[in-house]
Amino acid sequence: MTSTRTSAADRRDARAAAAAPDSGGAFSHRQIVTILAGLMVAMFLAALDQTVVATAIRTIADDLQGYDLQAWATTAFLITSTISTPLYGKLSDIYGRRPFYLFAIVVFIVGSALCGIADTMYQLAAYRAVQGIGAGGLMSLALAIIGDIVPPRQRSRYQGYFMAVFGTSSVLGPVIGGFFAGQGTLLGVDGWRWIFWLNVPLGVLAFAAVWRVLHLPHERREHRIDWPGALALITFLVPLLVVAEQGRIWGWTSTGALICYAIGATGFVLFILAERAYRDDALLPLRLFTNRSFAVGGIGSVVVGAGMFGGLLLLPQYLQIVQGSSATLAGLQMIPLVAGIMVGAMSSGITISRTGKYKVFPLVGVALMVVALLSMSFLVESDTSIWALVPFMVLLGLGLGFNFQPVILAVQNAVSPREMGVATSSVTFFRQMGGTIGTAAFLSVLFTRLPQDIDAAVQDAVRANPELGPQFQQLGAGSGGTLDDTSFIQELPPALAEPFKVGFSNSIDLVFLIAACVVAIGFFVFLFLPQLALSTKSGIQARQGEAAGTATSDPLDPAEEATEAVGAAAPTSVPPPVGRPGDRPDARR
């Protein structure tokens, strides 16, 4: 028995040694790819879950007899995933990535299993909150882990694979969600429950892969845990996220909304005070905002996140309501956008690894997004062919692909390697907040404008054909009829359905135009993003260098030296880093 235990322990030690870096802190390409595979499975879980549930939530709400409560299932997930994201980043910097990533996977699996047995919408909302706690760490920690094991100069090549996961889930989510939601029962169980139970075996696979291959060296340091900051952050975010999701229903100036604003403002003040008191031990150290790359990356992520979700949210709505596509078909029709994201992410990653220049990609990406959104605001009509939209969907995808990873790379490259986790999770957090704000604002504009545009289209139709007037009156059109459920549009005769489609097209044109203006602000923000020399050391190597007190700067190859010399007078050039390994000039401004 003893020899068996010893043998098992020896095998575990051998696996850990094989997955660990060499004496210089470097990982081989094979080790990186192996770790990446485990991370991608876990990220796929989180990305897929959101699109799958969004497709099936109406069917789930009907089955659980909670149609009017369905938004809370989404809100609960959003609240916990957003709040937990910065917590994972900070705690993983202190205690190490591996235990928290494994914890995130386990919590996500448990939450998924509980969602699969929910009997009421209240239970489902509570279990989705548990799921969100796990999901908050799956994306941000994966990006931080890549920062630990891959030097910035090569990092964007590997991060591009994550965008492929995101894109694939965007296509597969509606297809899988539509399939399971369309099954009354499957193996004696409600079809929609399999949407959640599918996560369990995938999560177990991800846990096993990460447990086996992820062995990162970590040096624990003395610290204070910023519990006041965490509580203040919750007080700040929860009411604001609630009102962002529910404000359109409550009214933005209702009593409930005003109370949420007041609580959120109080929480924000308390959060700032707590962060000032805890200084370097703070959940989000305020001195990071003196780092220009961090500040620009955070502000730009909010802006681009808002515009990004405008496009990603409105296109499927247009395809389903105006084009009459099912949720499954709409997911497949989004493939050009997803292909653009993948091409943009992979091509920018390869180019950055070769040239060491990343600033151009957010600028070009924002420009492409603006062109795509502006074009669609003029192009989208009730009778527009889906093929006419394809080029602009590709452009929008390319713009998104050019923005995701280069911005995170710029921030990771500019901060101390000991703050890789909090910096990475902060950029993800800002992007989520921008997406939440954008979604709330765009849906509010859409549903405020929609009745007016439908009324105008109905009046035009009645003037052209007076016989339609009584039929529109029966439908409630032209008199403030409800549009909470738009499925009836597809069941109407073409002559009656056309004004609804025209009204929706006109409303969505305005929202695309507003989204384009919001994204355009991001261009001027990213103009201030510094172009720093990319380090040739991974996060682990830089931390080991700090501990050992080795070389004061990363060596540049001859091509980089020539580039730095030629561009010394350029506005975006920054002298090579001087000081402790892992520091950046930008970080000390």
Summarize pLDDT for 2-18 with one digit per residue, the tens: 555 555 555 555 555 55
Burial class (CB in 10 A: 0-12, 13-18, 19+), 347: middle
Tell me, what's the pLDDT at 574? 34
Q: DSSP string spanning 475-487?
A: HTTTTT---S--G
Using the predicted structure, report yes or no on whether residue 311 has a pLDDT greater than 70: no
Q: What would the mean pLDDT of 183-196 be, rounded to a whole number?
A: 82
Cα three-residue angle 226-227-231, rounded to 5 degrees: 125
Tell me, what's the pLDDT at 551? 45
Tell me, what's the pLDDT at 565? 37
User: pLDDT-based confidence at 386, cuts 50/70/90?
Assistant: confident
Task: Give the residue among 52, 38, 48 at the shortest CA–CA distance from 161.
Answer: 38
Look up tokens 């409105």; give the residue.
314
Measured in whole angstroms, the distance separating CA 576 from the mean position of its chain's CA atoms is 32
pLDDT in tens, 232-276: 988 988 888 888 877 777 888 888 889 999 999 999 999 999 989
d(CA 172, CA 154): 29
Tell me, what's the pLDDT at 490? 66
C-alpha separations of 421 from 25, 41, 136, 159, 206 in Å? 18, 20, 13, 15, 21
Q: Are 437 and 302 in contact (CB under 8 A)?
A: yes
Using the predicted structure, report yes or no on whether residue 552 has a pLDDT greater than 70: no
Q: What would the mean pLDDT of 144-171 be, rounded to a whole number?
A: 78
Q: What would the mean pLDDT of 197-205 be, rounded to a whole number?
A: 88
Long-range contacts at 113-116 (CB < 8 A, ≥ 24 apart): 113/196, 113/197, 113/200, 115/196, 116/193, 116/194, 116/196, 116/197, 116/200
Give the whole-number percent of the chain exceeding pLDDT 70: 82
Tell me, what's the pLDDT at 554? 46
Q: Which domains does the chain have, with CATH numbers?
A: 12-216 (1.20.1250.20), 289-556 (1.20.1250.20)
d(CA 586, CA 279): 19
Tell me, what's the pLDDT at 6? 56
Tell me, what's the pLDDT at 248? 75
How many C-beta atoms lie closer than 10 Å to residue 555's C-beta?
Answer: 10
User: Across 42-51, 123-132, 164-173, 400-409, which has the greatest mean pLDDT?
Assistant: 123-132
Q: Which residue has the higher pLDDT, 91 or 221?
A: 91
Between 87-96, 365-374, 430-439, 456-465, the lowest mean confidence (pLDDT) is in 456-465
How many C-beta atoms lie closer than 10 Å to residue 129's C-beta?
Answer: 19
The whole model's pTM is what? 0.78
Provide the token pair at 515: 């989204």
Tell me, what's the pLDDT at 440? 79
Side chain identity at residue 386, one-letter code? I
pLDDT in tens, 30-58: 878 888 888 888 888 877 877 787 777 77
Tell me, what's the pLDDT at 339? 85
Q: Are 433 and 82 in contact (CB under 8 A)?
A: yes
pLDDT in tens, 496-507: 777 888 888 888
Q: What would the mean pLDDT of 83-92 be, rounded to a whole number?
A: 88
Tell me, what's the pLDDT at 13? 54
What torsion do the CA atoms of 127, 130, 135, 137 make, to the nearest 10 degrees?
180
Provide the token pair at 280: 């370097």
User: pLDDT-based confidence at 215, cuts 50/70/90?
Assistant: confident
Where do the H-state alpha helices sit in 189-226? 193-197, 199-213
Q: What would the mean pLDDT of 58-70 be, rounded to a whole number?
A: 73
d(CA 112, CA 413): 35
Tell me, what's the pLDDT at 12? 55
Tell me, what's the pLDDT at 446? 82
- CB-based contacts of 368, cutoff 8 Å, min separation 6: 395, 396, 398, 399, 402
Tell me, what's the pLDDT at 133? 92
Provide the token pair at 427: 């950029």
Tell me, what's the pLDDT at 76? 84
- CB-based contacts of 29, cutoff 8 Å, min separation 6: none
d(CA 63, CA 154): 49
Tell me, what's the pLDDT at 221? 64
Tell which phi-psi region holds residue 214, choosing left (phi > 0), alpha (psi between -120 and 50) or beta. Answer: beta
Q: DSSP string spanning 243-310?
A: HHHHHHHH-TTSHHHHHHHHHHHHHHHHHHHHHHHHGGGSSS-GGGGGSHHHHHHHHHHHHHHHHHHH
Tell me, what's the pLDDT at 475? 65
State the helix-helix crossing angle for 97-115 and 199-213, rounded to 10 degrees. Answer: 170
Provide the token pair at 363: 């600028």
pLDDT in tens, 396-442: 989 988 987 888 888 988 888 888 888 888 888 888 888 888 877 88
- The mean of the pLDDT values for the chain is 78
Q: Which residue has the higher pLDDT, 490 or 122?
A: 122
Q: Are 302 and 434 in contact (CB under 8 A)?
A: yes
Provide the token pair at 574: 């920054």
Give the whole-number percent of the chain exceeding pLDDT 90: 15
User: Across 98-107, 485-494, 550-559, which has the greatest mean pLDDT?
Assistant: 98-107
pLDDT in tens, 449-468: 888 888 888 787 777 777 77
At residue 186, φ and ψ (nearest 5 deg) are: -140, 115
